[in-house]
A and B are shown apart, each in its own frame.
Chain A
Amino acid sequence: MIKFVLMVNRQGQTRLSRYYQPVALRRRAALEADVVRGCLYRKKDQCSFVEYKDFKLVYRHYASLYIVVGITESENELSVYELVHNFVEVLDKYFSRVSELDIMFNMDKVHLILDEMIQNGHVVETSRTRILAPLSALDTLALS
């Protein structure tokens, strides 16, 4: 299963975090710092899967943002790698060219999108249209 999803910028600041297994706040900071250290300084030709303690990190790098997903053995690395991309594409579609600022200022919406895709550490929906359906409904409501 998926243990957590992190969005971190190049400076190592967490922009979004979602944990699917309870992690104490104190350990969270340490974990995030550790994960950032583990992924940010890797070169392009290095592998996107990093063994970390008893689980693996799958990370993907977009412009100024890194998305890091912690997974257990029961997940398929490549499929999680593409899940990250699917997530980014959904964000991109919704925010029309998503940027780090969009994510900071619309934390609630990003969470909503992520929650449509991953619940409780498992993939629930992969169709972009259906992921965005609740948000679209909401926006139509707000406009009317």
Chain B
Amino acid sequence: MPAVSKGDGMRGLAVFISDIRNCKSKEAEIKRINKELANIRSKFKGDKALDGYSKKKYVCKLLFIFLLGHDIDFGHMEAVNLLSSNKYTEKQIGYLFISVLVNSNSELIRLINNAIKNDLSSRNPTFMCLALHCIANVGSREMAEAFAGEIPRILVAGDTMDSVKQSAALCLLRLYKTSPDLVLMGEWTSRVVHLLNDQHMGVVTAAISLITCLSQKNPDEFKTCVSLAVSRLSRIVSSASTDLQDYTYYFVPAPWLSCKLLRLLQCYPPPEDGAVKGRLVECLETILNKAQEPPKSKKVQHSNAKNAILFEAISLIIHYDSEPNLLVRACNQLGQFLQHRETNLRYLALESMCTLASSEFSHEAVKTHIETVINALKTERDVSVRQRAADLLYAMCDRSNAKQIVAEMLSYLETADYSIREEMVLKVAILAEKYAVDYSWYVDTILNLIRIAGDYVSEEVWYRVIQIVINRDDVQGYAAKTVFEALQAPACHENMVKVGGYILGEFGNLIAGDPRSSPLVQFNLLHSKFHLCSVPTRALLLSAYIKFINLFPETKATIQEVLRSDSQIRNSDVELQQRAVEYLKLSSIASTDVLATVLEEMPPFPERESSILAKLKKKKGPGAVPVTELEDGKREGGELNGGGDRGPDSSAMATSNASTPSPSADLLGLRSAAPVSAAPTSTGSLLVDVFSESGSGAPSAGVNDDGFLRDLEQPTETSDTLLVEAPGDSDSAPPSTASEDPAPPLPEADELLNKFVCKNNGVLFENQLLQIGIKSEYRQNLGRMYLFYGNKTSVQFASFSTTVSCPGELQSHILPLLPLNVQTKPVEPLVEGGAQVQQVLNIECITDFSEAPLLNIKFRYGGALQNLTLKLPVTINKFFQPTEMASHDFFQRWKQLSQPQQEAQKIFKANHGMDTEVLKAKLLGLGTALLENVDPNPENYVCAGVIQTKSQQVGCLLRLEPNAQAQMYRLTLRSSKDTVSKRLCDLLAEQF
């Protein structure tokens, strides 16, 4: 090997690099770099033509500067010039610069393509490799168009040099990934597969990456690769350690190629051909055997290379999941690694064993290592290894060892790293529920969980424990007793107070016989925590108090006293104040019977998939099931019934079958979208439910003067209703409602629509009969919307039907193409009183649009036809994908969109407060990326996003300039489509 001098001939470069190294501060470095950039710029711009050597030197300097983290916005042309040089070193630097710095949409692509074309036809293998390599790195559409036809030919041609074949394989892989439609493998398939037989190991190594990718996409066409891969693997595995010469790495024959062959086989099920399968099993056995042989070298490289193959072989065995013998051997091998002194091996063994635990053949074998794994959880010094141990314990858990594992996980939680606590909590909660034989154990476990890691116990977990306690009456007394005891602790977590409030409110009577937990003691205990709690918990406690009044009349006076105190009835928080007032009134006016009906015990929850499991699925990690498509959509949860701000205990108002408030909607895993055809409904105000359920006799005199209780009146009694759908004689309804044609949209339809521009969930519409809740999720050009129609009356709706139509404007397009494709199924024609029905709409955005689709709802209420039309809140911004970009890019694109019709601008007065956080939340809700540090004026907001429609993508930029003094905004939208700019501008002007 020649001695290599510093900088190898490019003295200027060496000097520059030395200067940079000698810089004492970051400022000095930046100064030196700026000086050099100025120098290079002047050289490139100068009159004197630069020779190849100088160009190479300067381009090299630019590369170095780029590496240091500085943007390079010139020199591309000089680099392209270097491509046509005949000197290898110059050409190489040119290609390197382009590979590293040119992105796929550069305007230079055409010039680069020309250079590549020349090099590909040069028949000089080193030039060809450089060119192929460049295509593989840039991989743009234009390159694919220019070369996708030629590369397969180069790859399989008999006279192509090996090194060129290697580059061609990887190049084709890149083109296939970026433009699969242009890479037509058809006639080449079999010859590409046969590259697995190539004499040259390097070619096989390169080709296998290509074949693996193609096999994943078209398994059937590439099926023949299985037998070829097996025979190749077999030859490698059985070769002596010196056979493969330079492809042997520390006495291990071709470790990288072996791993890749084993990976390729994991794309397929076990081979059907007996001979092939036999040969493969033999290979796998040999690999397992070799692990037991004494090492051929003491070097760690030897054992690492060997183990790399071993782990890959075990992955394949687990993937096949059909050879009990091999599975058990794999498990034993991993068991050995669990105690190995190399941390890396312990980590990989834990990870691998986790997948092994789910196989029925090896589950028992995995379980025998429980003590080692528990020990790892306790003693490993690396959090990622401990995390793997926790995952494995979770995976190996079953009824036989659940108590031990849960206990160990709980004790680990006390010291666990903060980063993994939440996931641990979820896992403990799931295991405790899944394997609970004895529910008192379950209750203990969850309460312990709250005690140990209360901050990490998410709502799903404590909702779930309540759900289970309510559904199982054998555990209710125990739960009440335990939670009562837990609350004795001087400092207990707020989540404990929530569970306590709920459970004692429901089942406190079960322990009230004991004088130590008499009703008043229970109440005083709960109330002693009240002032330390947040608003939602206090709200929950207030509900528990009203339940106490029902359960224990003797506490009524004390509790009324509390409710009446100024700190409750005049609380500055509206929710708390309202509750205090309503509960106080309820307790004083309602008869015992009415109160008992209103506050009847919670009915059992329908069995659904545990929402905790759903939550865990969203977290990554082994044992997690892939997330279904929409589950991780833009927005989560979202209060469905507009009652979201009522705190998690609206369900506390457990009327016999009313009220499915938002939290329990979550609790029931509504996200999984099981149709809730006859699920109970909730309406905005608690008291509407209360009284409509408790019979029409309820609204008694003396109530009407109370402002809060105005809603109480039965719909029929409201003579001054503003709502056209008011029930009554049909002649009192406007003419349109009598007709069977869909009514024109409501006057307030636009206003309702505007409320949903920046949010996806909420109550779209509500009158005295009907409430319509919406929950929606969007991804790219697709959306899914759940509509919940709640019957607020106690009378059945008949002939209930809904239709969604796209307005006329859309149909007047020249092409008979609707911009939105909305699909849904009809809803059940009968909606019982108090029930809620759900409808799912699947929405596809074909092209941009301005008019929202219309939703028409018709039904009969007491004989009168109700007919109303709303605008569905599907607006163009729902299809935004946020785009992050730097200031420089933003303004460059801003300038590119400078044609007058591309811009829409409005100046308008602020309709709402100009609070920064509120504005930000709205802009984020819009779906765009909110770009920080882009606008020179920090008061302004700029956003960027791409609207995804099926036919095209429309990039949009937004700038909102508030003027706090004048309480005005200037809003500017620029996009590549004039209709989009205008529509967005119109929509947004209503939002601020």
Binding site for B on A (CB under 8 A): 1, 14-18, 20, 22, 24-26, 28-29, 32, 42-43, 45-51, 54, 74, 76-79, 81-83, 85-86, 93-96, 101-102, 104-109, 111-112, 115, 119-120, 122-130, 132-134, 136-139, 141-143
List chain B residues, Cβ under 8 A from A105: 6-8, 13-14, 17
From the candidates B92, B104, B170, B305, name the one contacting A119 in the complex (CB within 8 A).
B170
Chain B residues with a Cβ closer than 8 Å to the other chain, count: 79
Excluding A120-B170, A127-B201, 12 further A-B contacts by CB distance (< 8 Å) are: A20-B137, A49-B348, A78-B348, A81-B344, A105-B8, A106-B8, A108-B63, A123-B260, A126-B249, A130-B202, A136-B1, A143-B2
Please report the C-alpha to C-alpha distance between residue A102 and residue B93 in the assembled complex, in whole angstroms: 18
- 13 residue pairs A–B, Cβ–Cβ below 8 Å: A14-B67, A25-B71, A42-B382, A46-B343, A54-B620, A77-B308, A77-B344, A78-B305, A79-B256, A79-B312, A104-B17, A106-B6, A130-B202
B246 contacts the other chain (CB 8 A): yes
Residue of A whose beta carbon sits closest to that of B72: A25
B630 contacts the other chain (CB 8 A): no
Please report the C-alpha to C-alpha distance between residue A126 and residue B163 in the assembled complex, in whole angstroms: 12
Please report the C-alpha to C-alpha distance between residue A49 and residue B383 in the assembled complex, in whole angstroms: 11
Please report the C-alpha to C-alpha distance between residue A9 and residue B263 in the assembled complex, in whole angstroms: 33
- Flag B109-136 by CB within 8 Å of A: 1 or 0 each: 0000000000000000010010001001
List chain B residues, Cβ under 8 A from A86: 249
Q: Is the CB of B344 within 8 A of A78?
A: yes
Please give me the 5 A-B residue pairs with the lowest Cβ-Cβ distance, nearest first. Answer: A78-B308, A122-B209, A127-B246, A79-B308, A119-B170
From the candidates A25, A95, A106, name the one contacting B7 in the complex (CB within 8 A).
A106
CB distance from A143 to the nearest CB of B (A): 7
Residue of A whose beta carbon sits closest to that of B302: A82
B171 contacts the other chain (CB 8 A): yes
List chain B residues, Cβ under 8 A from A24: 884-886
List chain B residues, Cβ under 8 A from A129: 246
List chain B residues, Cβ under 8 A from A124: 166-167, 169-170, 202, 205-206, 209
Residue of A whose beta carbon sits closest to that of B886: A26
List chain A residues, Cβ under 8 A from B8: 105-106, 109
B652 contacts the other chain (CB 8 A): no
Residue of B whose beta carbon sits closest to that of A96: B1
Please report the C-alpha to C-alpha distance between residue A129 and residue B558 in the assembled complex, in whole angstroms: 90
Residues of B569-596 contacting chain A, CB below 8 A: none
List chain A residues, Cβ under 8 A from B170: 119-120, 122, 124
CB distance from A43 to the nearest CB of B (A): 7
B311 contacts the other chain (CB 8 A): yes
List chain B residues, Cβ under 8 A from A47: 343-344, 346-347, 382, 384-385
CB distance from A72 to the nearest CB of B (A): 12
- Flag B93-104 by CB within 8 Å of A: 1 or 0 each: 100100010011
CB distance from A26 to the nearest CB of B (A): 5
Please report the C-alpha to C-alpha distance between residue A79 and residue B306 in the assembled complex, in whole angstroms: 9
Q: Is the CB of A76 within 8 A of B206?
A: no
List chain B residues, Cβ under 8 A from A26: 886
From the candidates A46, A106, A132, name the one contacting B4 in the complex (CB within 8 A).
A106
From the candidates B67, B249, B312, name the one contacting A82 in the complex (CB within 8 A).
B249
List chain A residues, Cβ under 8 A from B305: 78-79, 82
From the candidates A46, A128, A143, name the one contacting B246 in the complex (CB within 8 A).
A128
Please report the C-alpha to C-alpha distance between residue A22 and residue B66 in the assembled complex, in whole angstroms: 14
Q: Is the CB of B1 within 8 A of A93?
A: yes
Please report the C-alpha to C-alpha distance between residue A1 and residue B208 in the assembled complex, in whole angstroms: 13
List chain B residues, Cβ under 8 A from A81: 304, 308, 344
From the candidates B92, B311, B387, name the one contacting A112 in the complex (CB within 8 A).
B92
Please report the C-alpha to C-alpha distance between residue A22 and residue B140 in the assembled complex, in whole angstroms: 12
B89 contacts the other chain (CB 8 A): yes
From the candidates A74, A125, A128, A133, name the one contacting B206 in the complex (CB within 8 A).
A125
List chain A residues, Cβ under 8 A from B343: 45-48
